[in-house]
Structure 1
Amino acid sequence: MSEHHHRPSPDDVHECTEALRSALRENGITLPSLGVELPAFAGAYHAPLVALGNCNAATALRLADALRKAAVR
Structure 2
Amino acid sequence: MGYSAQYLTDDEWMSLHDAYLANGCGPVFWQVYQELQITALKRTGDSCVKVANEMARIAEKMGATRNALFV
Using the size of structure 1 for normalisation, the TM-score is 0.33
Using the size of structure 2 for normalisation, the TM-score is 0.34
Structure with max Cα Rg: 1
- Relative to its length, the structure with more helix (as a share) is 2
- Relative to its length, the structure with more strand (as a share) is 1
